[in-house]
């Protein structure tokens, strides 16, 4: 069976393992990255280097982009030597970066003007999910196009949900980040109170994890906080980018999000003292500093 040729734009923390999973699934792969050295390992493993998004799009059936932020996605598609310069009729463009919903909609519009198809398909699951191919994929776009992209998604994730038209994948991801942020704050506050009040925090986690207080954050970030392991599962700087988009989107929709705003402000305190590249679980350190202990 002749598989579709896929081109990946962006071979960072997420893009690199995702590219590897696509090669594993026997997709012929092209790669482009702003920093060429970031693609070296993939090229050695058999991916073909392309000199620009435009060059990549000329050589593939499916473009997948996973870069930094909204302006990067605009640049990759609509900038000089961007994907839009070489889009062919019916080409599938899947952006998996977390960006502003309105950017997803405007890029979709540019891609479709040129006969291409656009899906916004941000992911949850972080580096480990990308490596294991167990990402949760939240897709915005037309049903038929989501169906067409399904085999590609299946190589990358364990769950793909079609959330609505373009932009709705991104909106869903923002909801995801709101939930992650507040669950994280709960775990941090519970642990700081436990520590300060002399309670054994491991006993506390054990006692509350199975019930109504339970969450992914409690199970995965709680033990890391206790072990003072702040290596990133997901980096504070990235969570802040996502929460900034969530708060902007909320404001544009006339929705106050007081809890999300609080999480964002407290994580800003981590960033202010140089902890932005630590994992989000480092939020517990901000709360400990508020309570005047380490």
Restricted to residues 16-55, the positions that interact with a copy of itself (CB under 8 A) are: none
Q: Catalytic residue at 173? A: yes
245 binds a copy of itself per the rule CB under 8 A:
no
Query: Which listed residue (109, 132, 227, 290) binds a copy of itself by CB under 8 A?
Result: 290
Restricted to residues 81-140, the positions that interact with a copy of itself (CB under 8 A) are: 101, 124-126, 129, 136, 138
Query: Which listed residue (249, 264, 270, 281) binds a copy of itself by CB under 8 A?
Result: 249
Separation CA 20–CA 189 (nearest Å): 38
Measured at the CA of 123, the angle between CA 160 and CA 239, to 5 degrees, comes to 150
Least distance between a copy of itself and beta carbon 201 (Å): 8
Query: Which listed residue (47, 263, 282, 284) binds a copy of itself by CB under 8 A?
Result: 263
In this structure, what is the dihedral angle of CA atoms 23, 150, 97, 270, given to the nearest 10 degrees? Answer: -90
Least distance between a copy of itself and beta carbon 15 (Å): 19
Least distance between a copy of itself and beta carbon 263 (Å): 8
Give how far Cα 176 sits from Cα of 42, 121, 138, Å.
Answer: 30, 13, 10
95 and 73 in contact (C-beta within 8 Å)? yes
b/e for 159-190, b at 16 or more Cβ within 10 A?
ebebbeebbbbbbbbbebbbebbbbbbbbbeb
Is the Cβ of residue 64 or residue 187 nearer to a copy of itself in the bound state? 187
Instruction: Give the residue from 55, 57, 81, 53 showing the smallest Cα distance to 67.
Output: 53
Restricted to residues 185-244, the positions that interact with a copy of itself (CB under 8 A) are: 185-187, 189-194, 196-200, 203-204, 206-208, 210-218, 220, 234
Separation CA 220–CA 205 (nearest Å): 11
Tell me the site size for a copy of itself, rule CB under 8 A.
74
- Binding window for a copy of itself (CB under 8 A); candidates: 46-54, 82-90, 109-117, 284-292: 284-292
Q: Which residue numbers are catalytic?
A: 173
């Amino acid at each position: 069976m002749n598989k579709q040729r896929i081109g990946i734009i962006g071979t960072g923390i997420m893009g690199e393992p995702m590219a590897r999973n696509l090669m594993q699934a026997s997709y012929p792969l092209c790669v482009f990255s702003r920093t060429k050295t970031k693609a070296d390992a993939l090229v050695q493993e058999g991916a073909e280097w392309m000199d620009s998004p435009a060059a990549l799009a000329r050589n593939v059936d499916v473009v997948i982009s996973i870069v930094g932020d909204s302006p990067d996605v605009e640049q990759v598609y609509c900038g000089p030597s961007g994907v839009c310069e070489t889009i062919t009729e019916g080409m599938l463009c899947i952006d998996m970066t977390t960006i502003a919903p309105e950017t997803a909609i405007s890029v979709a519009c540019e891609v479709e003007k040129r006969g291409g198809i656009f899906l916004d398909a941000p992911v949850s699951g972080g580096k480990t999910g990308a490596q294991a191919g167990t990402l949760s994929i939240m897709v915005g776009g037309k049903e038929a196009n989501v169906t067409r992209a399904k085999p590609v998604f299946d190589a990358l994730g364990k769950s793909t949900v079609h959330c609505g038209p373009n932009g709705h994948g991104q909106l869903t991801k923002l909801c995801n980040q709101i939930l992650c942020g507040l669950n994280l704050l709960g775990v941090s506050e519970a642990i700081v109170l436990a520590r300060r009040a002399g309670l054994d925090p491991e006993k506390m986690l054990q006692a509350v994890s199975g019930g109504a207080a339970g969450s992914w954050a409690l199970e995965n970030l709680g033990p890391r906080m206790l072990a003072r392991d702040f290596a990133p599962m997901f980096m504070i700087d990235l969570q802040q980018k996502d929460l900034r988009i969530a708060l902007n989107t909320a404001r544009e929709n006339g929705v106050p999000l007081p809890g999300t705003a609080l999480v964002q402000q407290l994580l800003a305190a981590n960033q202010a003292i140089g902890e932005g590249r630590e994992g989000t679980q480092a939020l517990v350190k901000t709360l400990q500093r508020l309570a005047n202990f380490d």
